[in-house]
Chains A and B, each alone.
Chain A
Amino acid sequence: MPSIPMRLRKQTGFVYNADTMPDIVSELKAVTTAEEGEGCTAYALDGCVPQTVIKPASVQEVRDALEVCHRLQAPGVVWGGGSHVGIGSPLQQYLWAMDMRGLASLKDYSPGDLVVTVEAGMTVSALQSLLSPHHQWLPIDVPLPDVQTLGGVVASQGAGLSCQRYGLPREWLLAVRVVLASGEGVKAGVGVVKNVAGYDLPRLFAGSWGTLGVLVELTFKVAPLPEVSLAVRSDVADVARLFELQDALNHPLLQAEMLEVTYGREEGWRLYCGLAGFEEDVRWQFDLLRERTHSEWAQIEADEVEWLRDRYLLASAVCRCRCVVPPAQTADMLVWTHQRFPDANLQAHFGAGIVYVWWEETVPDVQALRELRAQAHALEGFCVLEKASAEIKREVGVWDAVRGGVGVLRRLKEGFDPHGILAPGRFVEGL
């Protein structure tokens, strides 16, 4: 094994030097499937194409591949379905992509325990298909479930239509198996619904955007499917009505699964509500919904719910931001954004304080994007620039500033990924 010059270890950023280091592709090919050539262009990020795409077929291959990358200090990015991997600061160096979709098998499912264990490359839809014959589901109804892998959804802390009721994926995650940057395999958590043995590492890896380790196996608790579901839509006459609706909907006995607000130039403002549970509960809540909102509601079918779920991701956006504010500030965020950017499309998880803003034709200028971020700050929230050109990403900054504990975040990154091979510089605070 060739030794690595010590001076390279001390560097950050462009650590892999093709002139002095062994050929990464040939080393990877010795341990796993590593493709080169045109196929790599599908894995481009911010205009950068990786040298190779690693397609592991087993956890051992993930371990062996990462051991090679770690030894060579070669940075790259882990891919799931690819729907969110573009979110992040532009890379300084991108040598490999690791496509996890080859690890997609069911490891264990015990319906009586409401617990399931799967490999991280399984899609959300595939898991729901395994659960539904037992009248169970994982309450993570994120966009593009046929595309998104469970590992990707967990790593990106994806919020679905019903996140206000069921929370984020981390609320359902009991245990993980992770391959660290060094290639070592680690188990964290236990597949039971109550466990307080040691630190909650599954929560650390959830939402770490693949910068601390590679998720290879996930254990979730699951839930019974509701007996009935009802989804309804109401047109919202004008933007000022959003404040009234927010107050009306914030009632302790109105426990909607979904509250979604959309705005588009053609359809105007709409409010969607989803109710689920036992039939009597749903009927009672629908009556309460009508009574409190004084609105006309029309029932919608499953295909419209799916369209709503996927809407902001399928839009041909040239720029997209995600603003996160405390739940009761959602209407404020929507109204301010609409008044400042009348051409922008909007979608909000109305009960969870998550607002997506996107532009389909004209990219707002840098100053305007900074104003949007400042408004999120004013409402005690933050703003992530999810989609834009690399140039705008660099100017505005993809991630907002972290409020506290930045030193801890840095030490976590340095501890788990000491050579900086897992998407270095792509996450918050340049991690």
Chain B
Amino acid sequence: MITQTASESLVRDLERIVGADAVLCDPFELLVYECDAYTIEKAVPQAVVFPTETEQVQQVVQLCNRLGVPFVPRGAGTGLSGGALAKQGGVVICTSRMTRILEVDIPNRRITAQAGAINLDLTKAVKAQGYHYAPDPSSQMVSTIGGNVAENAGGPHTLKYGVTVNHITGLEVVLPDGEVAWLGGKCEQSLGYDLVGVFTGSEGTLGILTTVIAKLTPLPQGWRTMLAVYPRLEEACQTVSDIIAAGIVPAAMEMIDRTTLQAVEAAFRFGFPQDADAVLVIELDGLEAGLDRQMQRVLDICRANGAEEIRLARDEEERTRLWTARKKAVGSLGRLAPSTVTQDTVVPRSKLPQVLRRIMEIGQEHGVRIANVFHAGDGSLHPIVLFDERDPEEVRRVRAANDAIVKLCVQMGGSITGEHGVGVEKAEYMRLLYSETDLKAMRLVHDAFDPQDLCNPGKIFPHMEGAE
């Protein structure tokens, strides 16, 4: 526990490094940083710093090392698993002032940006030249590239374009001992162990990311967007499998279930059939030449699987409207309940029908309503439990239902998290996936980077027997 005097001394030292206007230590101001978008658990840091340069990050880390104070990286604070929570106090290093795009290198199809640059700003910087930064988490208008790397962010288009790690070739990091290291660079291959791959998705526990080199992907020349309405969920799921089996990899395949549809219909009056059990939003993209034939094949598959209505977007305006059903779906659920909690799990695509039916049963067993809006193409589920947080008994049932859903997905060969990360939220679930030996191997990696356990401690790993 840091004493009052030591805390004041820490703040003075931090101010010397980054300037007085880049340090927060007022208890009221610090409340903003007591959690990220995972609000169940909270902890107030001793201070928050806003560096603008790598050297400042390095000096802050060196200072924390000397004092034995934990330090926690934070981007935009949109994380959904508590990754930016200062669980053991200490200094939060916020990259929100490290927003510069340092280089656009079109010949090499690379972009170099500081860790605090906003995801969407990368695409804005290169769109005119025919490129984009492909990973598109729903938070992309506010989340930082550094945060995306830390969480290995996905998004609706990962089925075709992959997740963050598939698009990163180089990272500048401040290691937990204060060394500034370049991992990788602009080359396709790297030398030595793949530390870029290990660092990506490490949830800020292996060092502070300061600069990112990312790949640029050509913008698709064209797109075809369609929305298919199904009387039965199984038929929508089968459509997804049949499209893949036909050799077509759409840019996105997003599904909305009956409960969510009711909320969407109430909010936007799309005119979906009353008995619709599921809606599938499918988007194809790529070179214009082959898109019409691909679309025709997809339409045939949708019809063969019993789609009772198919809507095609003829222009950008209609495309936006079709996507509205998907993008506003979660918000619409506020009409059905005062509180919602979104789960994040993954299952093999072929197990979707079974898992979705079982999730509905879990809801019934625990007396809670569950809606589903998810990335069907890659089996990435986001069951949303509807409840009233003012009712403690209902909150208990919600927790039990969530617990059952996570366990179900693991039993089905899936994962406890596909996009949101482990953080503090799912640390104890790691034992569902991994044995003690598996976790020890992960711990070896952690200790190779951060033997003193000062960098974002208390994340990812479940409580170990004998640990403090």
Contacts and interface: CB of A to CB of B under 8 A. Distances in A.
Interface stretch (B9-17, B58-66, B418-426): B418-426
Contacts of A201: 198, 441-442, 445
B162 A171 contact: yes
Given A196-B151, A253-B221, A280-B289, A186 B441 contact: yes
A200 B109 CA distance: 25
B181 A192 contact: no
B294 A412 contact: no
A252 B418 contact: no
Contacts of A244: none
Classify chain A: how many residues form its interface, as a range: 35 or more
Contacts of A163: 188
A194 B379 contact: yes
Contacts of B247: 135, 224-227
B446 A199 contact: yes
Interface stretch (B335-343, B359-367, B397-405, B408-416): B408-416
Nearest to A158: B189
Contact of A326 (B110, B219, B289, B435): B110
A189 B173 CA distance: 24
Contacts of B154: 194, 196
B107 A204 contact: no
A200 B193 CA distance: 12
A188 B441 contact: yes
B27 interface: no
Interface string A223-241: 1111100000000000000
Interface in A261-301: 277-281, 283-285
B248 interface: yes
Contact of A198 (B185, B294, B349, B422): B422
A86 interface: no
A178 B445 CA distance: 15
A226 B249 CA distance: 11
B189 A199 contact: no
Contacts of A360: none
A284 B287 contact: yes
Contact of A253 (B177, B287, B449): B287
A268 B212 CA distance: 40
A22 interface: no
B460 interface: yes
A223 B249 contact: yes
Interface string B273-317: 000000000000011111001100000000000000000000000
B448 A415 contact: yes
Interface string A192-227: 111111111101101110001000000000011111
B1 interface: no
B447 interface: yes
A255 B287 CA distance: 9
Contacts of A247: 107
A201 B197 CA distance: 8
B4 interface: no
Nearest to B205: A199
A163 B152 CA distance: 22
B354 interface: no
Given A196-B417, A381-B187, A204 B350 contact: no
B179 interface: yes
Contact of A352 (B162, B188, B378): B188
Contact of B165 (A200, A278, A404, A407): A200
Given A278-B290, A408-B195, A224 B248 contact: yes
Interface string A110-143: 1111110000000000000000000100000000
Contact of B189 (A159, A208, A255): A159
Contacts of A203: 165, 194, 197-198
B183 interface: yes
A171 B419 contact: no
B20 interface: no
Interface string A386-424: 000000000000011011110111011001100000000
A250 B106 CA distance: 9
A380 B437 contact: no
A255 B349 contact: no
Contacts of A82: none
A192 B414 CA distance: 6
Given A112-B241, A405-B181, A415 B191 contact: no
18 contacts: A157-B189, A168-B188, A192-B347, A193-B346, A193-B378, A198-B433, A199-B442, A200-B165, A201-B441, A250-B109, A253-B287, A284-B288, A328-B105, A329-B108, A382-B187, A403-B183, A409-B193, A415-B448
Given A192-B347, A200-B200, A203-B165, 12 more contacts: A157-B194, A193-B159, A193-B379, A196-B419, A208-B193, A225-B247, A250-B106, A253-B130, A253-B221, A281-B287, A353-B188, A399-B191
